[in-house]
Amino acid sequence: MADIAKQLGISRAAVSYALNAQPGVAADTREAVLKLAMELGWHPSASARALMGSDIKVIGLALSRPTETFAVDSFFFEFLAGVESVLVERGWSLLLRVIGDLPEVEVETYRRWWGEGRIDGVILVDERHHDERIAAIEEIGLPAVLCGGPRKGIDLPCIWTDQAGDAALIVEHLAALGHRHIAHVGGPREFVHERGRQRGVRTAAARQGIEVTTIEGTYAPADARAAVDRLVEEPDPPTALIFSNDHTSVAGLQQLRARGKSVPREFSVVSWDDSPLTQAVEPQLTSLFRDNQLYGRQAAETLLSLVAGQHPSLVAVRRSELRERASSGPIG
């Protein structure tokens, strides 16, 4: 500050006001101070700003998923790209940690980051049934946005996906093709979005008079292959299979073909996630396209609004789109 004040012929107080975006200095002076500061290689100190009670412009995201699952999950990469696009525009940063399937460690991570003054807020993903993170976050007063909900009795803003509407898109597509018995190979029911998907499939199927076989698994391709082996051996097997994501749908498709089954003549296959992977196989997979980058942008923008003192509540994600491809068709 002394160097800038000397070169510009102003007081150190004026330099401080300019660098900290405080009133009390003219606009042209502020611009000159910031220009010279950048030329001198100056950047604000996050630790110093934290001590002064200023925003440090960092949001946190800890992912309590098995690392092998995260490494191949296209959803998270697209979601993070959306989050980062907002942070880059606003001059913020992301503190990211992949901690494995340990929700209790996730809470302690947030508690430590907040206590150390390293973050201004967090994005919570993978909402769980009876999610203990929510009460813990509210207890410590950490600004947070929940990718899930809506939930009664909480103050956290929710980025909400219409799982029932998504399920209806898939089921109505299969019903129009004449399928009367379908299988839904989902992920773990501990995740609220998987519970919502299962309810949505069953509700939509009931409206269409369709029988549903539900299989709970992980997001691992091995589970999808095991589900196919089980389903094709049933006396009255389903004629269409819905898989929870792109990797499990590809694994299921490959297992059907390994078993000598024709897709889509004998079995139709639908993926709940769309990604380039669903178009890299033969036949290409009918998939539910969700704008995951926009989802990430909405989460980041909502959190920054919350940190800025606004009070967002429920933000709806744009409705998904079913992309019909060659893996689904009429029976026989």
pLDDT of residue 277: 94
- What's the confidence (pLDDT) of residue 43? 61
pLDDT, position 24: 78
pLDDT for the residue numbered 46: 54
**Average pLDDT of each block of 10 consecutive residues along the chain (332 residues)?**
88 84 82 87 59 73 80 87 97 93 87 92 94 91 94 90 97 98 96 96 98 94 97 97 96 97 97 95 97 97 96 92 98 80
Whether pTM > 0.95 for this model: the answer is: no
- The per-residue pLDDT for 45 is 58
- Helix/strand/coil (H/E/C) assignment for every residue in the chain: CHHHHHHHCCCHHHHHHHHCCCCCCCHHHHHHHHHHHHHCCCCCCHHHHHHCCCCCCEEEEEECCCHHHHCCCHHHHHHHHHHHHHHHHHCCEEEEEECCCCHHHHHHHHHHHHHCCCCCEEEECCCECCCHHHHHHHHHCCCEEECCCCCCCCCCCEEECCHHHHHHHHHHHHHHCCCCEEEEEECCCCEHHHHHHHHHHHHHHHHHCCEEEEEECCCCHHHHHHHHHHHHCCCCCCCEEEECCHHHHHHHHHHHHHCCCCCCCCCEEEECCCCHHHHCCCCCCEEEECCHHHHHHHHHHHHHHHHCCCCCCEEECCCCEEECCCCCCCCC
